Amino acid sequence: MYQIKTYNAIAKAGLDRFTDHYQINQTDDADAYLIRSVNLHEQDLPNSLKVIVRAGAGFNNVPIDRATANGTAVFTTPGSNANAVKELMIAMLIAASRNLFAAADYAAHNSGADISKRTEHDKTKFSGQELLGKTLAVIGVGHVGSLVANAASQLGMKVIAYDPYLSSDAAWRISTDIHRAKTLPAALKNADYVTIHVPKNEETTGMIGAAEFAAMKPGVTVFNFARGGIVNNTEMLKALDSGQARGYFTDFGSDEILNRKDVVVTPHIGGSTGEAETNGAVQGAETIMNFLETGNVQSSVNLPNLQVPFGTPYRITVMHQNIPNMVGQIATILANANINIENMSNAAKDKVAYTIIDVNHLQKQDAVIIDQLSAIEAVYRVRLIKK
């Protein structure tokens, strides 16, 4: 029986996915955490914890280095809220082009006599432009960016994408109508609208700053539904004040950008739909079960991809440092115990490596072997999975 601990409200559809081999919230010494926004930085991780899945896209609330040292794999649920963010971004694109927020605000306060006369006179202030034929630059075309790019293309926009790390999976998702820019300035140069869909990291923090605004077309509108800080707010305001930018739409509020007519801030609602929560919970439950029952890894935050068909009765998985002679030491312990290896696969990601060993027979002393493997310096966790 595996033990799951949940934090935050996890959609019932996800909890219902767990089979009879799982108990939910029966103990703190869980095998797996299924979480949303809880801050794990302030919390000890139990030794029992083999996997953390954060239902959603980011993982800033998970202490990755501590999880790795504890032998805990960390996953998110990539793409589970991508459609929600895409729909919000497209809504904002249309709202921006038609001055919807200002127009609605005007109409809401336009009471009293002669409404229709005043409206006819004032409505020219809110005259917009159509998206058809305009250019949208999409920076980052992963799960969200690819959907945004395709949807904008279907609206008749010319779409230029920039993503130097584009995965082949993502490339398959992108319509052939999307143009690919080789550099960020090339993507920005002719865009009427710029939207950012990159993760926040050292490279992307402040990636839209003074030089990038200078490279943009005057009158550009910028959208940031990725993370606060990717667009440099000080430079954004300078661009708005100088007329280089016409508007800024973002999901990430900050004191300096509030109370301006040319800035629209939403309260981080990009992924806030019932459908996205359900998708995240279901995908999260499936990720946990797959990892606990097979040891296979796909798209983990701290482990390399390693997927091997589980065809033998026993599987040993070893999470360890990515340093020389680890595989040799593991194989030697198994050889000394007279255990024949049917298959051994290893992969590495940065400083962490992961080895899967499939065997048909284990001697009675399997606990001893697990202890011996666990005792190798630089091993984070050894698991024995029985089919």
Ligand X SMILES: NC(=O)c1ccc[n+]([C@@H]2O[C@H](COP(=O)([O-])OP(=O)(O)OC[C@H]3O[C@@H](n4cnc5c(N)ncnc54)[C@H](O)[C@@H]3O)[C@@H](O)[C@H]2O)c1
Distance of CA 8 to the CA centre of its chain: 18
Strands 341-349 and 352-359: antiparallel
Comparing CA positions, the residue from 221, 204, 55, 78 lying closest to residue 147 is 78
Query: In the bound complex, what is the minimum distance in angstroms from residue 63's beta carbon to ligand X?
Result: 18
Determine which one of 120, 130, 203, 256 is catalytic.
Answer: 256
Q: Output phi, psi for 244, to 5 deg.
A: -60, -40
- The pair of structure tokens assigned to 372 is 């011996």
Assign 308 to helix, strand or coil: coil
Query: In the bound complex, what is the minimum distance in angstroms from residue 33's beta carbon to ligand X?
Result: 20
Dist. CA 126–CA 94, nearest whole Å: 13
* Residues engaged in binding ligand X (CB under 6 A): 57-58, 78-79, 81-82, 85, 139-145, 162-166, 170, 197-200, 203-204, 225-227, 251, 268, 270-271
Q: Does the active-site annotation cover 361?
A: no
For ligand X, the closer CB: 22 or 249:
249
* 42 touches 57 (CB < 8 A): no
For ligand X, the closer CB: 62 or 144:
144
Query: In the bound complex, what is the minimum distance in angstroms from residue 266's beta carbon to ligand X?
Result: 8
Determine which one of 180, 268, 275, 286 is catalytic.
Answer: 268
Dist. CA 213–CA 137, nearest whole Å: 13
Residue nearest to ligand X (CB): 142
- Burial status of residue 244 (CB atoms within 10 A of its CB: 0-12, 13-18, 19 or more): middle
Dist. CA 77–CA 28, nearest whole Å: 23
Determine which one of 227, 320, 381, 383 is catalytic.
Answer: 227
Query: In the bound complex, what is the minimum distance in angstroms from residue 211's beta carbon to ligand X?
Result: 14
Query: In the bound complex, what is the minimum distance in angstroms from residue 196's beta carbon to ligand X?
Result: 8
For ligand X, the closer CB: 297 or 373:
297
For ligand X, the closer CB: 46 or 229:
229
Residue 302 CB: number of other CB atoms within 10 A? 23
Q: Output phi, psi for 82, to 5 deg.
A: -65, -40
For ligand X, the closer CB: 227 or 320:
227
Q: Does the active-site annotation cover 320?
A: no
Q: Which amino acid is at 333?
A: I
Q: Does the active-site annotation cover 256?
A: yes
Q: What is the set of active-site residues?
A: 227, 256, 268
